Amino acid sequence: MKLKGCGQRFQTLRKFRKDSQTLRNRGALFRGAALEAGFGELVGAVVEAIKTAAMFRDVLEELNSTLLDIQPIIKDIESLNKGLDKEHETKQLIEIILKGNKLVSKCSNIQRWNFFKKTCYTYKLQRFKESLQLFCQIDLQIQQTRDIKDVLFGVKGLSMEVRRFSSKEGSGSENGMFSQVAVVGSCKVPEPPGKVVGFDVPLAELKVKLFKDGVSVIVVSAPGGSGKTTLVKELCRDEKVKGKFKENIFYVNVSKAPNVEIILRKLLQVNDHRMPEFQSEEDALNQLEQNLRQMATDPILLILDDVWSGSESLVDKLKFSLPDYKILVTSRFAFARFDSTYILKPLHDDDAMTLFHHSAFSQNGNPYIPEDLVNKVMKSCKGLPLALEVVGRSLYGQPVAVWQSREKQLSKGLPIFHSSSELLACLESSLDALDSMVGLKDCYLDLGSFPEDHMIPATALSDMWVEQHKLDEDNDAFVILHEFSIRNLVNLVVMRKDASEADGYYNDHFIMQHDLLRELVIYLSSLDPVEKRKRLIVELSSNNFPNWWLEEKQPPLGARLLSISTDETFSFNWGSIQAPEVEVLVLNFRTKNYTLPVFMEKMEKLKVLIVMNNGIYPTELSNFPLLCSLSNLTRMRLEKVSVPSLSMSSLHLKNLRKISLVMCNIGQAFKNGTYRMSDTFPNLLEIDIDYCDDLVELTGGFCDLVQLMKLSITNCHKLRALPEGIGKLVNLKVLRLTSCTDLMTLPETIGSLSQLTVLDISDCLSIINMPIQIGELHNLSKLYMRGCSSCNLPSTIKKLQHLKDVICDEETSYQWLRNLPRVNAALFVGEKKRARFGFEFRCKREGKSVRLKNPTRKAASVNLCRPHTLNIRSKRVTGKQL
């Protein structure tokens, strides 16, 4: 009995001490650092309970996630309330936190076998989390609204005072002076939002460019959402950067529509907090230069963030002749005019996963989400930092079911920004800038017609745009592609830099589009109802057709562009669709056999047909005679297919003007048949044959196409001879035979091509002798013959009165200079220099002195025996080293 009494007294005493401690804690909370201390205690209790109370681990981890989200805000609230003498407003929140502490403590003491209490306290924990969220969503929102109204009232009063002061000052100011009162902000570099991860490699690469001598402007260029600003902010926190530039690092956000006056005022207030006075922009720039010159005891770094196209002049104005003064620009555009450009690429998988983990999970990770599921969702972000952060945050603390649902959406083709307005707005803003040029955005949306990660031939896009968007000529298409490239909307890939670009030859040009931008294009193209879309992009697998395709009473489609992509599992049971308005049809596939869809024959307005095999081997095409029903077809591109005979009786394409055959088997295509090719293609103006390895010779029937103006046969290494009848092509203006390495000679009838202006036999290694009839090409103005150093020139070349440009090797150039009668040339070696050196040609033509200079690029020594490419022109002579 004694022991029992002692035990009861001990229990009573322990309870009394515990209650006293609770009261002391509560008093402390209301006296000192109340809110932050109590909240920190609650977080610590929850973390400890997660380790010890396994039965409540799931709900405690959710609670911990909620607490971590609001902890920084709670800290700010307490600090601000203390300064504003409003600590009483957090009394209710403190009471909730105290109850939570008590509840978590009880959960830690419940035994694992007590299922009744487990259920009961799980419910209580859920109710506690909801009460905390409810307070944040309602009470804090009401307080926030009140505070905003209070601030607005104060700003209104301040604004009235500023206007009164401004009117007094303005009455005595000189005419034309900028306003004296403005709130312009600071030039201090903002801190990156949270911890920066995944940028180690770009940071190191950018530092190398920044520290390089002789570079005054560095442009960090990438599409929106790539992390340009975050990278630059993190750069400014680097110890080496801070050690070099010290306090002379200044940051200005330029934005799409910059206010130059505000920017200059910010910079002029760097050392003097008084409002600067200046009479004009020129005066402000002069003052700024003087200020920076005084600060130039240490190197200076000026960061211009978010510079858009059209604002390059601002960068030029801020370039001053100061020692070790550098300007770092971030932009969605690639400004080639400046010294150095750093292209910020998408993150690699390892860095992308690091950033994604940081956004999607707590510091301890989340062992309950399968790693393969995390990897699939991460890869859908395509290495774009903004996407990784937005998607990661949206899945933070979510159960496996939510992750699985998101992955399922992605596998069905739904873009990741389908559920993120923030990401959509960022990416879409890049395209909104295209509205400044008529038709530019439409051209960009057409890029979704080609498969993901596909190198899109520039010439295919040219075919589409010339016909669909009514461009004047093919060159206009490449102007548009260049515009996309400088806006970082595509990567322009040039397989071989060629001087013949000037003549509209772009077979070696391709573009690559970022996967997320492609998804954006498809998403924007699909916003309208199917029957009203301007472009319809369909991807088919097996026999899984979209619902609208299978409807019995199918409305006619209004699309002008139709793209259909199929995979290896597609069975080619096309069904039927009505697409009478289609002008451009793009068919993408990767199978050994392909059947052209029957519904093509009803596309009466079809002008451009692009058939592209993305597999390895050429595809056998079925239903090829369907083409004869396409009476308005003007351009056709076949890539990696086996082309049947083009002399078949049923094939008659009266309006076809251009045909492109790329990597095709065309051994049967041009064989002589019972029908003449001129009957099949009565209005064909251009033929482009590239990388067709089975082409050995062209048949004579080919020469019946007397209306032909451009003939390009390039990279056909087995081509041995051209037909003697090629002289019949009296309207031919351009003949390209680049890299036909087995071609032995040119036909003697080539002299009959009286309209020929451009001849390209570059890298035709087997041509030893140029026919003497070459001198009869009286209209020839450009001749490309690089890689033909073994070719002997006849004396008849002196008859080429209109020849303006010859692009050839150094060895061949001697023959030209020796045979042209009006050119007296002397070759001598110029003074050798380590960085810039070479040789010069001095020649006279019609009494005018002409100089040729051939400096090499970044070479350390010279070897005059190396081949050079020379451009010999009528009024000047230039040279470039190969």
Residue 9 has a pLDDT of: 42
Residue 689 has a pLDDT of: 94
**pLDDT at 150 > cutoff 80:** no
Residue 700 one-letter amino acid = G
**pLDDT at 158 > cutoff 60:** no
Task: Supply 65's token pair.
Answer: 């996630």
pLDDT by residue (tens digit) across 177-201? 343 333 455 788 887 766 677 788 8
pLDDT by residue (tens digit) across 825-860? 333 222 222 222 232 333 323 333 333 333 333 222
Residue 569 has a pLDDT of: 83
Closest CA to 140 of 94, 95, 100, 93: 93
Residue 199 has a pLDDT of: 83
**pLDDT at 68 > cutoff 80:** no
pLDDT by residue (tens digit) across 236-271? 888 999 899 988 899 988 877 777 887 888 788 776
Q: Which of 87-91, 130-134, 441-445 has the highest mean pLDDT?
A: 441-445
Full 3-state SS string of 507-548:
CCEEEECCHHHHHHHHHHHCCCCHHHCCEEEEEEECCECCHH
Residue 256 has a pLDDT of: 72
Residue 490 has a pLDDT of: 85
Phi-psi region of 774 (alpha: psi -120 to 50; beta: other; left: phi over 0): alpha
Residue bearing the bigger pLDDT, 238 or 584: 584
Average of per-residue pLDDT across 32-45: 66
Residue 823 has a pLDDT of: 35
Phi, psi of 846 (to 5 degrees): 55, 45
**pLDDT at 333 > cutoff 60:** yes
Residue 273, CA distances (Å) to 270, 296, 478 in order: 7, 19, 50
Q: Which of 55-64, 97-106, 743-752 has the highest mean pLDDT?
A: 743-752
Residue 176 has a pLDDT of: 41
**pLDDT at 586 > cutoff 60:** yes
Mean pLDDT of the chain, nearest integer: 77
**pLDDT at 454 > cutoff 90:** no
Average of per-residue pLDDT across 332-342: 83
Tell me the CATH class for 651-837.
Answer: alpha beta
pLDDT by residue (tens digit) across 280-315? 888 888 888 888 888 888 899 999 988 888 788 888
Burial 781-791 (b: 16+ CB within 10 A, else e): bbbbbbbbeeb
Residue whose entry in the numeric block shows the structure tokens 């067709």: 692
**pLDDT at 772 > cutoff 90:** yes
Phi, psi of 112 (to 5 degrees): -65, -30
Which H helix or E strand runs over 409? helix 400-411
Please list, in sequence order, all residues whose beta carbon lies within 8 angstroms of the beta carbon of residue 389, skipping any fewer than 6 positions away: 355, 359
Residue 3 has a pLDDT of: 36
**pLDDT at 363 > cutoff 50:** yes
Average of per-residue pLDDT across 465-488: 83
Residue 831 has a pLDDT of: 28
Please list, in sequence order, all residues whose beta carbon lies within 8 angstroms of the beta carbon of residue 138, skipping any fewer than 6 positions away: none
**pLDDT at 707 > cutoff 50:** yes
Domain boundaries, the chain: 34-152, 199-343, 365-428, 651-837
Task: Supply 625's token pair.
Answer: 């005679």
Cβ contact 332:488 at 8 Å: yes
**Structure confidence at residue 650 as a pLDDT band (50, 70, 90):** low
Residue bearing the bigger pLDDT, 494 or 662: 662
Q: Rounded CA gap, 232 and 330, in Å?
A: 8
**pLDDT at 171 > cutoff 50:** no
199-343: CATH number: 3.40.50.300
**Structure confidence at residue 446 as a pLDDT band (50, 70, 90):** very high
Cβ contact 673:698 at 8 Å: no
State the pairing for strand pair 686-690/249-255. unpaired
Average of per-residue pLDDT across 744-757: 93
Residue bearing the bigger pLDDT, 406 or 827: 406
Residue 272 has a pLDDT of: 62
